[in-house]
Structure 1
Amino acid sequence: MVISSAFAQSAAAAGPESSLLSFLPLILMFGVLYFLAIRPQMKRQKEHKTMVESLQKGDEVVAAGGLAGRIAKINDAYITLEIAELGDKTVDVVVQRAAVQTVLPKGSLKDIR
């Protein structure tokens, strides 16, 4: 009887520690997930937001569908891209500001066209 009660006391004492140790791999996996996936994605979103906010008339950009053009007009939510020149007229397309993926260096569209 004395031996069995000693085992019972040691098992009860190790209970909270063993449950904490069983959550340790889960906590470590969440930490790795945060540093490998969540944090870099938040950084990319922040960079994209600052890039979209800094757009100006005359910038050459590439939109989400691969559409390249020069910004002709800017509103709060939309921009007008000049994508082609036909004689004295231009072809303009309206896209959302958030659809802009990349700002090209000045003069890049002349190399493409």
Structure 2
Amino acid sequence: MNGLEQLLPFVLIFLAFWLLLIRPQRKRQQELARAQGEVVIGDQVLLSAGIVGHVREAGSEFLKLEISPGAHLTVARQAVVRTLVDPVDTTDLPEDDELAHDGSAYDDTADDDTTYDGTTYEGGTDRGPDGSDPHRPTTS
């Protein structure tokens, strides 16, 4: 009986881990695998990389997504995180050349000597605040 009493805390700890961690994680994995298997042509899906696209072709391992009109991407079925119930409208998004680095729209008709943040530079090199070239290492 003494040996059983010593094992009881370990059994209880394992049971707690199983109930709190292993079982819910296994359930999430099964739901994800089921959702990935149910993807059909016409669904709008979200990939693990954050890409949203419409399924145009569906195979057993790969999907062909249309991420914008005329732009297709072949991805592994396992990259699908979920099928979007409320489709995202991507038709009113600005073109890539109309976006600044932070995602806001900018005017690309500016002079060639103007950087994205509106500062100007001379001699084809973007100078730092102290006038040095931030793209070249300093020697000291």
Structure 2 match to 1:57: 41
Matches within 5 A, 1:1-113: 17-85=1-69, 90-110=70-90, 113=93
Preserved CA contact (<8 Å) 1:77 1:97: yes
RMSD of aligned residue pairs (Cα, Å): 1.6
Gaps of at least 5 residues in structure 2 are: 94-140
Aligned residue pairs, count: 93
Structure 2 match to 1:11: none
Which structure is higher in helix share?
Answer: 1
Q: Partners in 2 of 1:107 and 1:31 — Cα distance? A: 41
Q: Partners in 2 of 1:111 and 1:40 — Cα distance? A: 38
Query: Aligned-pair distance for 1:109?
Result: 3.3
Which structure is higher in strand share?
Answer: 1
Higher relative contact order (CA 8 A, sep 6+): 1
- TM-score after normalising by structure 2: 0.62
> Residues 62 and 52 of structure 1: is their aligned pair in 2 closer, same or farther, counting only changes over 3 Å?
same
Where do 4+ consecutive residues of structure 1 move more than 2 Å? 109-113
Larger Rg: 1
Q: Partners in 1 of 2:91 and 2:84 — Cα distance? A: 11
Gaps of at least 5 residues in structure 1 are: 1-16
